[in-house]
């Protein structure tokens, strides 16, 4: 499970690396082959990997965590920053060695990097046998068959309709408590720095009934928290033919909240231009919709926001934050921030720091700008901020966030929160870890209670670090 809260995880250009997933294989089944898959990038990519595993599994392939056992090696890739791609390329050189030792092994590159580079990947990375874009996963079995004949197999067609709505994802490497549910794919926003509209294609929303069915099934299987995922969840828009009405994100959120009061709901990501009061009212109305909004800022300078094509100004953003705090006084807000975008001055950078302070973010994902080929910014603007300046500004942003996170956590000392237990803490089997509705990680001793993973428990906060609250069970 991706720890959304750990600041250490999101500094600089780090890529969140997926574990090679737990075997979903049944030893009584004679699989055609075993596959091993790794994911990089955003939560949506992790969610896609669960769809990919499901497609492969229902076509007779078994998942394995053991690379040595695998004859199919897949990497579900990310293109968001240069470093993300470099990490994958490095990993591919490691797979080359395995392939040299066992000629039967086939290697497939999936996801955003496959989509961005297409057949170029085959020229650049000679060991790659399959290149499969994010909308082509249904064709995986036929692409594998093709690659088995010794031909390179490529499918990078983007679709306007594909949402994989009917595919029931296999929950990989899951704690059995928290799950992702994709509600839409693609993005229409064209932020000038961003590669996603090119790698993921046009925005499309998934059938609301399938989302509710999947979420209900998760709850029936013991899951207690789901995160509705999309690049821009607030622009979810799906036409319900049965009822002859459009379903908005606020309506969808309400429907999912109504599944059961013991099922916690989160969502990500919200674009400041699209999040509506209706969404905030649903959050206020239902206790099980978590009081946390991830609201990427990117920059605090209106001039830069314009160059970024974010379609909001500094004032619009801070007014939105005011409105959130008015309707949801208890809501935590987190953000994404980019330093060193084209033409950024020290004044622009200071404005970013000011807005961070104004909003009092509890956490941020922070990056320095990485030019991506083909994006609007790459075509229109010079990447003119020297790397050392980008990095120095990033460090200042990181320091500011550290200050804000600590201040936010200190305020929680003495308070009691309802925590969903996600498992043992990393450091000790005597402690549990879980999260508050505000998406803060909380560690606490198990004590003499009989609580288990998946239970809700009341925890009083005693102390904190920058990234974690430490407490004890009070009921």
Give the interface with ligand SAH as residue ranges (CB under 6 A).
80-81, 193-194, 196, 231-232, 269, 271, 296, 298, 336, 338, 367, 369-370, 372
372 binds, among ligand SAH, ligand SF4, ligand F3S, none (CB under 5 to 8 A by kind): ligand SAH
Q: Compare residues 311 and 350 and give the one whose CB is closer to ligand SF4.
A: 311
What strand order describes the sheet that includes 363-368? 292-294, 332-339, 363-368
Q: Check: CB of residue 297 under 8 Å from CB of residue 336.
A: yes
**Considering the complex, what minimum distance in angstroms separates the CB of residue 404 from ligand F3S?**
24
List the one residue from 45, 49, 163, 205 that touches ligand F3S (CB under 6 A).
Answer: 45
Q: Compare residues 231 and 436 and give the one whose CB is closer to ligand SAH.
A: 231
Part of the chain binding ligand SF4 (CB under 6 A), chosen from 33-41, 185-193, 217-225, 321-329: 185-193
- For the chain, the helix, strand and coil percentages under 3-state DSSP, each to the nearest 5: 35, 25, 40
Q: Does 4 participate in binding ligand F3S (rule CB under 6 A)?
A: no
List the one residue from 154, 196, 304, 400 that touches ligand SF4 (CB under 6 A).
Answer: 196
| 464, containing H or E segment | strand 456-464
Beta partners for 37? 74
45 binds, among ligand F3S, ligand SAH, ligand SF4, none (CB under 5 to 8 A by kind): ligand F3S
Q: Does 195 participate in binding ligand F3S (rule CB under 6 A)?
A: yes
Contacts of 389 (CB under 8 A, 6+ apart): 340
Q: Does 134 participate in binding ligand SF4 (rule CB under 6 A)?
A: no
121 binds, among ligand SF4, ligand F3S, ligand SAH, none (CB under 5 to 8 A by kind): none
**Considering the complex, what minimum distance in angstroms separates the CB of residue 196 from ligand SAH?**
6
Q: Check: CB of residue 272 under 8 Å from CB of residue 320.
A: yes
**Considering the complex, what minimum distance in angstroms separates the CB of residue 193 from ligand SAH?**
4
370 binds, among ligand F3S, ligand SAH, ligand SF4, none (CB under 5 to 8 A by kind): ligand SAH
Part of the chain binding ligand F3S (CB under 6 A), chosen from 74-82, 146-154, 396-404, 442-450: 74-82
List the one residue from 197, 408, 434, 454 that touches ligand SF4 (CB under 6 A).
Answer: 197
Q: Compare residues 196 and 295 and give the one whose CB is closer to ligand SF4.
A: 196
What mask of x and - would describe binding to ligand SF4 in positions 215 to 244, judged by CB under 6 A? Answer: ----------------xx------------
Q: Check: CB of residue 412 under 8 Å from CB of residue 439.
A: no
Residues 271-290 within binding reach of ligand SF4 (CB under 6 A): 271
**Considering the complex, what minimum distance in angstroms separates the CB of residue 196 from ligand SF4?**
4
Q: How many helices (H) and strands (E) does the chain have?
A: 14, 21
**Considering the complex, what minimum distance in angstroms separates the CB of residue 382 from ligand SAH?**
14
Q: Does 205 participate in binding ligand SF4 (rule CB under 6 A)?
A: no
Beta partners for 180? 227
Contacts of 147 (CB under 8 A, 6+ apart): 106, 108, 129, 130, 153
Q: Does 42 participate in binding ligand SF4 (rule CB under 6 A)?
A: no
Q: Is 386 left (phi over 0), alpha (psi -120 to 50) or beta?
A: beta
10 binds, among ligand F3S, ligand SF4, ligand SAH, none (CB under 5 to 8 A by kind): none
Distance between CA 351 and CA 289 in Å, rounded? 32
Encoded tokens for 13:
């250009």
Q: Does 268 participate in binding ligand SF4 (rule CB under 6 A)?
A: no
| 326, containing H or E segment | helix 314-327
Q: What backbone phi and psi angles, to 5 degrees, belong to 339?
A: -105, 155
Distance between CA 384 and CA 210 in Å, rounded? 46
Contacts for 22-31: CB closer than 8 Å, 24+ residues apart: 22/63, 22/65, 22/172, 22/173, 22/174, 23/62, 23/63, 23/64, 23/65, 23/66, 24/53, 24/57, 24/62, 24/63, 24/170, 24/172, 25/62, 25/63, 25/64, 26/62, 29/62, 31/60, 31/61, 31/62
197 binds, among ligand SAH, ligand F3S, ligand SF4, none (CB under 5 to 8 A by kind): ligand SF4
DSSP 16: P
Distance between CA 335 and CA 324 in Å, rounded? 14
Q: Compare residues 170 and 229 and give the one whose CB is closer to ligand F3S.
A: 229
**Considering the complex, what minimum distance in angstroms separates the CB of residue 190 from ligand SF4?**
6
What is the 3 state secondary structure string of 59-108?
CCEEECCCHHHCCEEEEEECCCCHHHHHHHHHHHHHHHHHHHHCCCCEEE
Q: Compare residues 1 and 376 and give the one whose CB is closer to ligand SAH.
A: 376
Q: Does 80 participate in binding ligand F3S (rule CB under 6 A)?
A: yes
Positions in the binding site for ligand SF4 (CB under 6 A): 187, 189-191, 194, 196-197, 231-232, 271
Where on the chain is the footprint of ligand F3S (CB under 6 A)?
Answer: 41-42, 44-45, 78-80, 111-112, 195-196, 199-200
């Amino acid at each position: 499970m991706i720890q959304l809260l750990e600041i250490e995880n999101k500094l600089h250009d780090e890529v969140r690396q997926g574990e090679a997933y737990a075997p979903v294989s049944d030893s009584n089944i004679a699989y055609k082959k075993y596959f091993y898959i790794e994911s990089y990038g955003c939560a949506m990519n992790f969610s896609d990997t669960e769809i990919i595993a499901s497609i492969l599994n229902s076509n007779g392939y078994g998942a394995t965590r053991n690379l040595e056992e695998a004859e199919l090696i897949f990497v579900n890739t990310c293109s968001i920053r240069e470093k993300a791609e470099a990490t994958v390329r490095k990993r591919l050189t490691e797979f080359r060695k395995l392939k040299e030792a066992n000629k039967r092994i086939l290697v497939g590159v999936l996801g955003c990097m496959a989509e961005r580079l297409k057949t170029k990947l085959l020229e650049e990375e000679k060991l790659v046998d399959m290149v499969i874009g994010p909308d082509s996963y249904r064709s995986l079995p036929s692409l594998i068959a093709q690659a088995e004949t010794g031909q390179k197999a490529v499918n990078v067609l983007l679709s306007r309709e594909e949402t994989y709505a009917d595919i029931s994802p296999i929950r990989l490497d899951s704690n059995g408590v928290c799950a992702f549910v994709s509600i839409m794919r693609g993005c229409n926003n064209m932020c000038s720095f961003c590669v996603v509209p090119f790698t993921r294609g046009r925005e499309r929303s998934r059938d609301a009934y399938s989302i509710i069915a999947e979420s209900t099934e998760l709850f029936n299987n013991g899951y207690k928290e789901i995160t509705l995922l999309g690049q821009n969840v607030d622009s979810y828009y799906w036409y319900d033919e049965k009822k002859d009405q459009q379903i908005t994100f606020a309506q969808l959120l309400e429907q999912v909240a109504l599944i059961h009061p013991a099922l916690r709901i989160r969502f990500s990501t919200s674009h400041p231009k699209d999040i509506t009061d209706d969404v905030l009212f649903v959050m206020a109305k239902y206790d099980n919709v978590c009081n946390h909004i991830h609201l990427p800022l990117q920059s605090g300078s209106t001039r830069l926001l314009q160059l970024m094509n974010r379609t909001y100004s500094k004032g619009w953003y801070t007014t939105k934050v005011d409105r959130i705090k008015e309707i949801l006084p208890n809501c935590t807000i987190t953000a994404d921030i980019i330093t060193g975008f084209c033409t950024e001055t020290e004044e622009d950078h200071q404005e970013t720091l000011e807005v961070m302070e104004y909003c009092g973010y509890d956490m941020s994902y922070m990056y320095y700008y990485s030019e991506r080929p083909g994006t609007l910014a790459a075509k229109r603007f010079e990447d003119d901020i020297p790397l050392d300046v980008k990095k120095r500004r990033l460090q200042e942003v990181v320091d500011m966030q550290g200050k804000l996170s600590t201040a936010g956590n200190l305020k929680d000392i003495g308070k009691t929160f309802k925590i969903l237990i996600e498992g043992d803490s990393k450091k000790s089997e005597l402690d549990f870890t879980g999260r508050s509705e505000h998406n803060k990680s909380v560690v606490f001793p198990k004590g003499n209670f009989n609580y288990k993973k998946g239970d809700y428990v009341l925890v009083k906060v005693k102390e904190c670090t920058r990234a974690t609250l430490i407490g004890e069970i009070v009921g």
